[in-house]
Chain A
Amino acid sequence: MAHRSPRAVIAALVLLTVSACAEPPAGQLVSDPYKPVNQTVHAFNKGLDRVVLRPTSQVYGVVVGREGNKLVQSAAETISLPNRIVNKVLQFRLVSAVEDTFRLGVNLTFGLLGLRDVATEMGIPNDDTDFGETLHVWGANEGNYVELPFFGSSTERDAVGLIVDTLLLDPLNGASSGSQSDALVLQLTSIVGNRNEFADLIDSILYESADSYTAQQSAYIQNRRFQLRQNSPDDALLDDPYALDLLEDPYAE
């Protein structure tokens, strides 16, 4: 009788997200009322990176190498394709959903079970997506900034997206526990591979910036908004340093 399934709870969360409204305060990149908690989580995540992820990725870089990492990333992407297809249908991007279906078929067959990204070599557009983007397409605002343990930077909208992607839209939900743990190992390996591929960038944010919390937040939010914009940049989103012209002569010494 008490049939309150996790799905109902998630559906309620999604509805809340779509109707929620949180605009960043003037002069701030993103609304961040949870900053104290976020900073604690950031310190934990940064410690985790310093002690586990970064050293592991350095060993990975030496052992697996650039070509090996390409295989890992390609395989990890292939198993994420069913989720991508579902999200694109939910976003009414049917052409892109068909392209991804084709990508899945081609990479699983000619790409040796996804180890080679034949579809990209053929010139098929490769555009990742997730349920956070679906919520965006449905009209949800990003909400407040959150830093999640292990997962890192996110927003309220994208955190709900992550829950839906993981619990409802994971194609391996019905699969055997053996193939589920294989998939998890592959996903973790691909995270280590990405940490190694973008080592300079991530190190500069975490260890060379004056304030790694703010630097990571700024990079994440800007990059995420860039991913979500389908067309050319909107004037309103571009930084305009000349706007201060009204206040003073920019070339005055």
Chain B
Amino acid sequence: MRNNTLTTTRRTVLAGALAMMAAPAFALSEGDATNLVSKLVSDIQKTIDSGKTGNALINDFKKIFDTYADVPIIARSSLGVTWRSATDAQRRAYSAAFRSYVAEKYGNRFDEFSGAEITVTGANKTKRGYVVNSTAKLPSGSSVAVEWQVSDASGSAKVFDIYIEGISMLVTERGEIGAMLDARGGNLDQLIADIG
């Protein structure tokens, strides 16, 4: 009997602990996810409309990236399998370099959305959180589907991928970083020095 009770208690405690571990993954509501993306979109639009150029614009994008994106996960994922063999120092240096690289590359690219009207249209549940759907209506008349993947697996709600007409930033950057590594004979330190 005693044994049984103990087992039950253990099980309950274990179940409780598992539930607590799992809890953060379910704490994110659809409203949280859409609110995060709405705020992010409005910050992006303010930055684009500010008329800033060059480094001022890129610095603003760095701030947005730090505030809204799950930077550690994005950096790690962009390096793919190479992350596993990298030393702690290399991982830190790469993450910092990747942050500048992304802000520079996408800061300039967001120019293309100048004059665009971005509207959040809905959200779908995924295993990691939500995909928030939005449409960017460009001045040329074309509309572009932009989807934002949101998760709170990091402890707070963050965007970890953006799909533009189905093209994932994570997948694209993993391919690009992989090609840059290949071009440098797999030398990670050289890559860090070049993109940082």
Chain B residue, CB-CB nearest to A248: B84
Q: What separation, in Å, do the CA atoms of A200 and B109 have in the docked complex?
A: 8
Chain A residue, CB-CB nearest to B126: A235
Chain A residue, CB-CB nearest to B149: A238
Name A's interface SS: helix
In chain A, residues 206-253, which have Cβ atoms closer than 8 Å to a Cβ of chain B? 209-211, 214-215, 218-219, 222-227, 229, 232-233, 235, 238-242, 244-245, 247-248, 250-251, 253
Cβ-based interface call for B29 (8 A): no
In chain B, residues 137-196, which have Cβ atoms closer than 8 Å to a Cβ of chain A? 139-142, 145, 147, 149, 151, 153-154, 160-161, 163, 165-168, 170-172, 175-176, 179-180, 182-183
Contacts of A201 in B (CB 8 A): 112
Q: What separation, in Å, do the CA atoms of A204 and B172 have in the docked complex?
A: 12
Judge whether B112 and A251 touch: CB under 8 Å.
no
Q: What separation, in Å, do the CA atoms of A235 and B131 have in the docked complex?
A: 10
Judge whether A222 and B168 touch: CB under 8 Å.
yes
Cβ-based interface call for B52 (8 A): no
Contacts of A211 in B (CB 8 A): 175-176, 179, 182-183
Judge whether A219 and B172 touch: CB under 8 Å.
yes
Q: What separation, in Å, do the CA atoms of A197 and B7 have in the docked complex?
A: 67
Interface size on B, residues (CB 8 A): 44
Task: Indicate which residue in A197, A215, A223 contacts B165 across the interface (CB closer than 8 Å).
Answer: A223
Chain B residue, CB-CB nearest to A236: B127
Chain A residue, CB-CB nearest to B127: A235
Task: Indicate which residue in B112, B161, B165 contacts A239 across the interface (CB closer than 8 Å).
Answer: B161
In chain B, residues 112-151, which have Cβ atoms closer than 8 Å to a Cβ of chain A? 112, 124, 126-128, 131, 133, 139-142, 145, 147, 149, 151
Judge whether A210 and B183 touch: CB under 8 Å.
yes
Interface size on A, residues (CB 8 A): 38
Judge whether B171 and A66 touch: CB under 8 Å.
no
Given contact pairs A253-B88, A253-B91, A200 touches B141 in the complex (Cβ within 8 A): no
Chain B residue, CB-CB nearest to A232: B124
Cβ-based interface call for A112 (8 A): no
Chain B residue, CB-CB nearest to A121: B141
Task: Indicate which residue in A209, A227, A250 contacts B72 across the interface (CB closer than 8 Å).
Answer: A250
Judge whether A232 and B131 touch: CB under 8 Å.
yes
Contacts of A144 in B (CB 8 A): none
A187 to chain B minimum Cβ distance, whole angstroms, is 18
Contacts of B168 in A (CB 8 A): 222, 238-239
Cβ-based interface call for A70 (8 A): yes
Task: Indicate which residue in B88, B128, B165 contacts A226 across the interface (CB closer than 8 Å).
Answer: B165
Cβ-based interface call for A69 (8 A): yes
Contacts of A219 in B (CB 8 A): 167, 172
Judge whether A29 and B179 touch: CB under 8 Å.
no
Q: Which residues of A contact B (CB under 8 A)?
A: 29, 66, 69-70, 117, 197, 200-201, 204, 209-211, 214-215, 218-219, 222-227, 229, 232-233, 235, 238-242, 244-245, 247-248, 250-251, 253
Q: Which residues of B contact A (CB under 8 A)?
A: 72-74, 76-77, 84, 88, 91-92, 109, 111-112, 124, 126-128, 131, 133, 139-142, 145, 147, 149, 151, 153-154, 160-161, 163, 165-168, 170-172, 175-176, 179-180, 182-183
Interface pairs (20), CB distance under 8 Å: A66-B140, A200-B111, A201-B112, A209-B179, A210-B176, A222-B166, A222-B172, A223-B167, A224-B166, A227-B166, A233-B126, A235-B126, A235-B127, A238-B161, A239-B149, A241-B73, A241-B161, A242-B153, A248-B84, A251-B154
**In the complex, given contacts A215-B175, A233-B147, A238-B128, what are 5 additional A-B residue pairs having Cβ atoms less than 8 angstroms apart?**
A29-B171, A66-B140, A215-B179, A223-B166, A238-B126
